[in-house]
Amino acid sequence: MKTQTTTDQETASRGSLKSRGVKRIDSPDVHRRSPIHRARVLVQPGDWAETDPFLLMAEDWYGRGAFDSHPHRGFETVTYVIEGTNSHFDNRGNRGLIGPGEALWLTAGRGIVHNEIPVDDQLIHTLQLWVNLPQRDKLVEAGYQELTAARTRKRTLPGVEAIVFSGASGDVAAPTRNHARVTMVEVRLEPHSAFEQELPAEYNAFVVVLDGEGLVGASSTPVREGQVAWLEREAAESKVRVESNDRRFRIILFAGRPLREPVVAQGPFVMNTMDEIQQAFADYRRDGARFGLGG
């Protein structure tokens, strides 16, 4: 994909965009699920209109054996590795490794059985986001994209490195294939640095703080590690500003166009109707390890 040079007119246009403020800050607690698994829910499921197109996000610290192989249908999972290395595999024969600062974008579509397991005996630290699929794409062919360091694109500014996993930042666009339109940008700021990210009209957006303390939004709202800042919505194209103080600041911005469709979720399946959920369970009981591989 060809990179275009930013013109003075384009820069001025971005500077005139309205800056979004912070609507609320969430500070979830960490809970122990088992001797080898701790977690906190960063995006709570259930208030689908509020978080649309995002369904939930969990931050996990876990070791081998924390999760069994399990099915999904009707949505996508985005697993970002903060510390450690994950091996992933599924019932289609796909397998690979995802290391720190990398992500696995898994499209469950009509069905997949998969697992993600640490490569050694150390606990791994991850984020996992569930992204809803549009109704027309609920039963697409399953697949995955490894967003490794070699396959992601970076935007470098004074004191700032932005890693574009999905969508675009400035003139840097990710090649990631999306069914629901989603922007995912990790931003790493040196002390006393600032960064602005443009947001398409109507996109629902939130910021996860991975490390440090800093300021987010039009009113320079203070945030710290482990918090989630939900941004105000805007009907027109807008931007969000993040700033570091006297230490490094690392965040991930997620933004997506709301689907505004019915959501019915049970266990590992997310569909539009209860009949579709019941069909998903029936298909999994019938097909087992071959779930999603039928015609």
pLDDT in tens, 40-74: 999 999 999 999 999 999 999 999 999 999 999 99
- Assess contact for 241 and 194: CB atoms under 8 A: yes
pLDDT of 1 above 80: no
pLDDT given at position 10 = 44
Token pair recorded at residue 200: 């398409």
**Residues with Cβ < 8 Å from 121, sequence gap 6 or more?**
63, 64
What is the phi-psi region of residue 167: left when phi exceeds 0, alpha when psi lies from -120 to 50, beta otherwise?
Answer: left
* Nearest alpha carbon to residue 19 among 262, 186, 192, 243: 243
Mean pLDDT computed over every residue of the chain: 94
pLDDT digit string (tens) for 81-118? 999 999 999 999 999 999 999 999 999 999 999 999 99
Q: Where are the alpha helices (DSSP H) in 165-219?
A: none
How far apart (Å, rounded) are the C-alpha atoms in residues 79 and 148? 12
pLDDT of 7 above 80: no
Q: Which helix H or strand E contains 83, and what residues bound it? A: strand 75-83
pLDDT band at 291 (very low <50, low <70, confident <90, very high): very high
How far apart (Å, rounded) are the C-alpha atoms in residues 280 and 45? 20
The fold of 20-282 is: Jelly Rolls (2.60.120)
Q: List the chain domain ranges.
A: 20-282
pLDDT given at position 12 = 46
Token pair recorded at residue 67: 């999760």
pLDDT given at position 294 = 74
Amino acid at 23: K
pTM for this one?
0.93
